[in-house]
Amino acid sequence: MPERPFAIRPARDEDRVPLASLFAAVAEERDGIAAEPPVDVVRRAAAFELDATLVATARDDVVGGIWIDGPFFGFGELGMLVARGWRGRGVGSALVEAAIEWGRGCGLHKLSLSVFPHNRAAIALYRKHGFEVEGRRRRHIRRASGELWDLIEMGLLLGDE
């Protein structure tokens, strides 16, 4: 199998600003993640819990990231993104696999996440890794445009329970 052109590793302090800048760029798309511009990059950079954040790097650039908020009563809540130019090349899959492994290693019993119903790429990615749709929050997120968007809730049990 050819070697992957990217690597997955735990986030380090020096990844904070690149990851927050990537977050701001994806927020500009106003499509996949709930955040919309303007993103306060310094504040976002400071907010990453490095212990629960993984990054994808190519050469020395951060091209993706996944973070697990919590634990909340034993479950972790995922957030993730991949740089536009790197999508469709396996980065998202590698990040989700690493987050599942990380969650198991931490003894979490479950991972959960929220995704917009129109985000077909993300929903297919999560399904591919075993996440199931558990529900739908209606008109849940107010967009800058004033529109109210639904959210799909997905979850993956990590143990045998």
Ligand X SMILES: CC(C)(COP(=O)(O)OP(=O)(O)OC[C@H]1O[C@@H](n2cnc3c(N)ncnc32)[C@H](O)[C@@H]1OP(=O)(O)O)[C@@H](O)C(=O)NCCC(=O)NCCS
User: Are the C-beta atoms of 148 and 139 separated by less than 8 Å?
Assistant: yes
Pick from 128, 137, 139, 142 the residue near ligand X by CB under 6 A: 128
Angle between helices 91-105 and 120-128 (to 10 degrees): 50
Residue 98 or 106 with smaller CB distance to ligand X: 98
- Is 82 among the residues that bind ligand X (CB under 6 A)? yes
Pick from 24, 89, 106, 140 the residue near ligand X by CB under 6 A: 89
User: Are the C-beta atoms of 82 and 92 separated by less than 8 Å?
Assistant: yes
d(CA 137, CA 133): 12
- Is 70 among the residues that bind ligand X (CB under 6 A)? no
In angstroms, the Cα distances linking 141 to 37, 45, 114, 148 are 15, 23, 11, 5
Pick from 25, 58, 71, 87 the residue near ligand X by CB under 6 A: 87
Q: Which residues contact 47 (CB under 8 A, 6 or more apart)?
A: none
Residue 1 or 160 with smaller CB distance to ligand X: 1
**Per-position x/- string for 4-43, each x denoting binding to ligand X as judged by CB under 6 A, each - no binding:** ----------------------x-----xx----------
Pick from 93, 104, 132, 135 the residue near ligand X by CB under 6 A: 93
Q: How far is the CB of 59 from ligand X (least distance, A)?
A: 17
d(CA 7, CA 97): 13
In one letter, which amino acid is 101? E
Residues in touch with ligand X (CB under 6 A): 26, 32-33, 80-82, 87-93, 113, 115, 119-122, 124-125, 128
